[in-house]
Amino acid sequence: MNGPEAKTTTASGGDRNWTFPMAGENFFTWEYGNGRERLLNLYQKGKDKQWDSTTRIDWDIEVDPFDALGTPENTLALYGSKQYDKLNTRERQEMRQHMASWEFSQFLHGEQGAMICSARIVQSVPDLDSKFYAATQVMDEARHAEIFSRFLDEKIGMQYKINPNLQALLGDALNDSRWDMPYLGMQVLIEGLALAAFGILRDKTNKPLPKQILAYVMQDEARHVAFGRLALRDYYAQLSAKEIAEREEFVVEGCYLMRDRFRMQEVWENLGFDMDECMEYMNRGPRMRAFRSLLFTRIVPCVRDIGLWGPKVKQAYEDMGVLEMANSDLIKLMQSDEAQAELLDRERAEAARRQEAQEIADRVAEVDQAITAGAAE
């Protein structure tokens, strides 16, 4: 690990456990027909694309905990604020460590939430084809939680507790007796926003380890969002206007929670910054406005696609300044996510082959030198 050694600490205190009873019913079906071809194809893809984080990711890469992501200074959330201008070099390094810890901690907590929601979907969804796919997602989410936990513990050395807005949305999704609500809360809102956040960091970082982690996790997440779209679009087409309105209300409240999730209030509090100044800048600063808009590139078109596109939803998105995201090509975005992970695999394999060829050439040259030297004696 480069730079000063980081100790494993909890940057924000609080209870380590969170328990509550989950509403709803367990649903068995004795209908073992072929199911829907689209979902069964996705299930097959989920099986084919399983991978081991201990072998696919190069954990030997060193990471400087005070510059884990290597993002340009002018892209930092507080850059250009009065609070940022007050910081010296060491304080800016510390801020980078806390920001990276907070971001990856929220990813970690979200992935554990996704694992639990996926398990809940296996229990409660009526259709066997959906149960099949959700079972593969449980394994995906367990792998993601493992990866983010390891990165935080071994490379950054610090973790934050779950953000209250994320916790509130998880609680709402899991504490609803209707089987589709964990789908809607997790697959569409939480996973959709996480996928966009992963993509922003993947494209900004110049560090190989976090780029690998984010690219490979995104390859899985693209399937998860597709699963939510397929299952909910079919189901919501059958609901009454009242039932649709209830779910649109959930979407609106959930999107406001997700929008406010990335203000990093816990970081500024821990670092002793001027909270009024920081929150004002986070709410109105140009970087965060642009960042929040990008965060909704996956959510808005998905919400529209599954049929929750009433006036209240559109008005909320207009108020947030993200209504135009409805025209984003979600399928193309997800195909790009998968392609980038595959490209990274090919580039790493090619680099390994070049290194092996160079090592062989060096060894041949060494042997030739030894033979030549021996002949001259």
CATH number where 91 lies: 1.10.620.20
Question: What's the pLDDT at 321?
Answer: 86
Question: What's the pLDDT at 141?
Answer: 95
pTM of the complete model: 0.86
Note whether residue 23 is domain-resident.
no
Note whether residue 344 is domain-resident.
no
**Residue range 50-79, pLDDT digits in tens:** 999 999 999 999 999 999 999 889 888 899
pLDDT tens, the chain, 377 aa long: 443 344 445 555 456 788 777 777 887 888 777 777 888 888 898 899 999 999 999 999 999 999 999 988 988 889 999 999 999 999 999 999 999 999 999 999 999 999 998 998 899 888 888 889 899 999 999 999 999 999 999 999 999 999 998 888 888 888 888 889 988 988 888 888 888 889 989 999 999 999 999 999 999 988 888 887 888 988 999 999 999 999 999 999 999 888 877 889 999 999 999 999 999 998 887 777 777 778 888 899 999 999 999 999 999 999 988 898 898 888 888 888 888 899 998 998 898 889 888 888 888 888 778 788 777 66
Note whether residue 181 is domain-resident.
yes
Q: How many Cα atoms occupy the beta-carbon half-sphere of 188 within 13 Å? A: 29
Q: Are 188 and 303 in contact (CB under 8 A)?
A: yes
End-to-end CA distance of the chain: 47
Note whether residue 343 is domain-resident.
no
Note whether residue 245 is domain-resident.
yes
Note whether residue 209 is domain-resident.
yes
Note whether residue 370 is domain-resident.
no
Say how far apart CA 118 and CA 224 lie, in whole Å: 10
Residue 125, Cβ density class (10 Å: 0-12 exposed, 13-18 middle, ≥19 buried): buried
Note whether residue 372 is domain-resident.
no
- Listing DSSP states for 39-61 in one string gives HHHHHHHHHHT---HHHHS-TTS
Domain assignment of residue 47, given as a range? 34-336
Q: Which amino acid is at 325?
A: M
Question: What's the pLDDT at 12?
Answer: 52
Say how far apart CA 119 and CA 174 lie, in whole Å: 11
- Which residues of the chain form beta strands (DSSP E)? 9-10, 158-159
**Residue range 167-220, pLDDT digits in tens:** 888 888 888 888 899 889 888 888 888 888 899 899 999 999 999 999 999 999
Give the count of domains, the chain: 1
